[in-house]
Every structure is written in structure tokens, then in C-alpha cells.
Amino acid sequence: MIYIHIKIKNEGVQRMNMSWALLVNRLDYLWIEYDIAMRVILTVICAFLITCGANAQSFYFGPKGGLTVGLQNWNGIERDPLLTYHGALFIESDDAETDNALFAQIGYHKRGSAEQVLFFSGSNSSFQRQPFEFNNVALQLGAKKKFGSMPSAYYGFGIRLEYTVGTNLDEYSQFGGYFPVDEFVNEFNYGASLMIGKRFMFSDLAGAFVEASISPDISKQYEQPAIANVISPFTGNTVTLREQTIRNITFELTVGFRFLRKVVYLDER
């Protein structure tokens, strides 16, 4: 997709032209989404802690990180991919005696997309690739299961709660409602993740793994209401921009290291 840089009449005022009723409804909606997400996350956390604590299990922990391909859907239209990175710390129950493991992780993930933008300066024009970045801290909880015929390989499922700590959208404030602005970013988001991976052991207490995952968001990263009094580049008349929504979907290729905290029971008889 290609966008053209155009001017918006009274863009600074029009971008914030939302009634108090819309603001209140928006805050109520965000609180409901946050409350639902927190209930699900806290339920999984409690299950994880009870499982590991009650049985005094051994567990793995370590760092992980790698490459990210970010995609976004803007009102049903797919944008170009954003190539970036991610990193996280994780803890995972020991699955030496079973085929299943529970895990929890917290990390930094860049979500977003990119776009080819046509800029005009006098009689000159040029294309530039513009990234749209949402910097999120993500808490993820889930479960993994070994493949029966390949015990070192696994697949898994997780749920995520994310908080947006920053964006680069201030770079596009001059474009008004034609590009996203920080005022309409949803700070709390949630979604799911599917993963597949393979583990490699260096010793009884240390190893590594490679993992590929796909993480679609269920919630909307961005919600912008309709904006009135925009000057059309085709007719010169003022028009109203329709509502804009954005959802994230992210592909990640990850490399990590696993260290085993082993619980050994001693027979004192």
C-alpha cells in the first residue's frame, strides 16, 4: 500500500475532537477488556504456582530472544511486515517424567508493521519505508507437550497480556488522522500464541532450544474514531475519515538457553 502526504484542516484540533460521552464509553470498554484479561492471567498463574509448589518440582529457567516479523491489519487491510527483535525470561516446569510442561515468561516485544509512503517537497517526490512500532512488555503463560516420536521436540499454546510502554507514532503527528497517533493506542492488549520447537541438552543441567511461534492479538492495539473536516486530496472538499482499528499478528524465531534447578529428595531413614 502507498500513502500520500496531505494536509488536514485544523488537524491538531480535529484529531482530539471526541465528545466526553465517547471518552467515557471508551474507558469503560478498556476496563472491561483489562478485567477479563487479568482474570484469565491470574487463574493460569495460580494453577502454575500450585502445580510447581505443591509437588516441589524441579524447573527450568533462562533467557530467550530472536527475530520478529510484525504484521498488522488496519481495517481489514494487511500492511507490509516490520522486521525487528524480541527478548524474554522464562520459567518452565520439569517434564522429565511426563510429556507436559507449564511455563511462564515475561519479555519485551516489538509489534507493528511498515508502509511505503510517498512524500512531496515542492516539485520533488520520494518513497520512504516507514515503520509503525508498538513497544510492548508481555506476560505469557501456557503449556507445552512433547511429540510422542520425538521427545526432544514439542508444541505449545499460551495466552498473553501485554502493556504498551511506548511507540514511534509521534513521528507521524503532522499527518493527522491518516496515520495512527498515540491518543488512540490501547495500552493493554491480550492474545494467544502457538509454538513449535526443539530442545538440545549440553549436560544434565543445561541446554538450549530453538522455537518458532505465531502470536495473533485478540484485542485491538489501536482504535481511532471517525475524524471530520479532512481536506480530500482528490476534490479539495472536506470529508470525514472513517474509524480506524489495528490488530497485531507476530511471527517470532527464537533461540534460548535452559538451566535446570533440580530438586533432589534425600532418604533420611
In this prediction, residue 45 carries a pLDDT of 59
In this prediction, residue 56 carries a pLDDT of 53
pTM over 0.95: no
pLDDT tier at 187 (50, 70, 90 boundaries)?
very high
Between 76 and 211, whose confidence is greater?
211
pLDDT tier at 137 (50, 70, 90 boundaries)?
very high
Q: Which residue ranges form the domains of the chain, and what is each CATH number? A: 2-261 (2.40.160.20)
Per the structure block, which three cell numbers stand in for 194?
502457538
Q: How far apart, in whole angstroms, are the C-alpha atoms of residue 93 and residue 102?
A: 5
Length of the chain: 269
Q: Which of 27-31, 75-79, 132-136 has the lowest mean pLDDT?
A: 27-31
For the segment 70-121, what is each residue's pLDDT rounded down to a tens digit? Answer: 999 888 888 899 999 999 999 999 877 778 899 999 999 999 999 877 666 6
Q: What is the pLDDT of the chain when averaged over all its residues?
A: 80
Between 128 and 2, whose confidence is greater?
128
pLDDT tier at 129 (50, 70, 90 boundaries)?
confident
In this prediction, residue 53 carries a pLDDT of 53
Place of cell 511462564: 104
In the chain, what percentage of residues exceed pLDDT 90? 47
Q: What is the CA angle 111-217-153, rounded to 5?
A: 90
In this prediction, residue 193 carries a pLDDT of 97
DSSP 169-230: GGGGGGGGGGS--GGGB-SEEEEEEEEEEEEEESSSSEEEEEEEEEEEBSS-SEEE--EEEE
